[in-house]
Amino acid sequence: MILVALGANLPRAAETPAQTIDAAIAALDRGATRVRARSRLYESPPWPQPSDQPWYVNAVVRLETALDPE
């Protein structure tokens, strides 16, 4: 079991940070890794406060793979 934390506060792979997280999860669910569970999306403020940066969208995914840790 592998747990991966994801976070984005700027749109990179899509129009919104949430869509960027969804695109990252889809990319992790290819090839030798499979997404077995995902959390809901959480929002958190940037740090340190106050900040002019947008809030973060965060998630955690649980992966399975047959690959060696290296």
13-57 per-position pLDDT tens digit: 678 999 999 999 999 999 899 999 999 999 999 988 888 999 999
Amino acid 11: pLDDT: 77
Confidence of residue 59 (pLDDT cuts 50, 70, 90): very high
Q: Which amino acid is at 8?
A: A
Neighbours of 4 (CB within 10 A): 15
* DSSP tally for the chain: helices H, then strands E: 1, 4
Enter the pTM of the model: 0.84
Report the C-alpha gap between 51 and 35 in whole angstroms. 33
Is 70 a residue whose pLDDT tops 90? no
Amino acid 13: pLDDT: 64
Residues 35, 24: contact at Cβ < 8 Å? Answer: no
Report the C-alpha gap between 17 and 68 in whole angstroms. 31
* Residue (of 48, 56, 65) closest to 4 by Cα position: 65
